Amino acid sequence: MGGDDFHKGVKQPSTKLDGSALRILIVHTRWNSEIVDPLVEGSITALVNYGVKRENIILRDVPGAFELPSAALRLIRQSQGQSQNLLMGSPQVSSAMPFDAAICVGVLIKGSTMHFEYIADATSHGIMKVGLDTGVPVIFGVLTCLTEEQATQRAGMGGHNHGADWGSAAVEMALLGL
């Protein structure tokens, strides 16, 4: 480990990923939107590069990171309910197919109170729980940064856009179940 050939971050998957049949939910915050928006764009670009159709990428926004888990849970459950209605003979529309994966995107920046710790803890546990409870992979796209500069760098402004990793993780995890 270490040295010049050390690859920081995620290695490419060994199999070719085809996302052309997938439907992906992106829930993102309006808090820190100047940083969140490029992260969302980075995720969308990666999804499209893996073949996900633009019309099958559904965007929804919430106020802050604390709201991400509950919104993801409701939207995933809603999509699963719609697909059950389809099986029971309700009119078929392609937008009613269940989500194959979701990405929760937000940016938490540490302030001078304990808010950061509480929200980061609740959000990370909540996002994991939504994935385990629904059986739908939910990607943790939340930056937890000590400074605004750390966050902007990780959103592609001077560094790697982590949104791209979240998009490819969503496709890889969605395809695990198919």
7 belongs to the catalytic site: no
Q: Which of 67, 98, 169, 174 binds ligand DLZ (CB under 6 A)?
A: 67
Name the residue with the smallest CB distance to ligand DLZ.
Answer: 64
Residue 59: both structure tokens together? 């965007």
Whether residue 141 contacts residue 154, with contact meaning beta carbons closer than 8 Å, is answered with no
Where are the extended beta strands (E) located within 2-122? 24-29, 57-62, 101-109
Residues 128-167 that bind ligand DLZ (CB under 6 A): none
**Cα separation, 112 vs 171, whole angstroms:** 37
Q: Which of 22, 31, 46, 166 binds ligand DLZ (CB under 6 A)?
A: 31
65 binds ligand DLZ (CB under 6 A): yes
Whether residue 178 contacts residue 136, with contact meaning beta carbons closer than 8 Å, is answered with no
**Cα separation, 7 vs 49, whole angstroms:** 22
Of the pair 31, 50, the CB lying nearest ligand DLZ is at 31
Q: Is 89 helix (H, G, I), strand (E, B) or coil?
A: coil
Residue type, 161: N
Catalytic residue, candidates 28, 115, 125, 160: 115
Nearest approach, Cβ of residue 75 and ligand DLZ (Å): 17
Nearest approach, Cβ of residue 22 and ligand DLZ (Å): 26
Strands in 101-109's sheet, in edge-to-edge order, are 57-62, 24-29, 101-109, 138-145
Of the pair 123, 134, the CB lying nearest ligand DLZ is at 123
Of the pair 115, 159, the CB lying nearest ligand DLZ is at 115
- Which residues of this chain interact with ligand DLZ, rule CB under 6 A? 29, 31-32, 63-67, 106-109, 111, 115, 119
Q: Active-site residue numbers?
A: 115
